[in-house]
Amino acid sequence: MTDTVPVADLVDQNCHGVLRTELGLGTFEARLGAARA
């Protein structure tokens, strides 16, 4: 069989931005609050 199943594109709707620096523990913990909102 060579039939393929159509697949929808996936979008991450919880992406608030990208850090331009390395993520340290303090920054990670500070940003956890945004996920709770």
pLDDT, residue 25, reads: 92
pLDDT, residue 12, reads: 63
**pLDDT tens-digit map of 1-37:** 678 888 877 766 666 667 778 888 998 888 777 655 4
Q: How far apart are CA 18 and CA 10, in angstroms?
A: 18
Other CB atoms within 10 A of residue 36 CB: 5
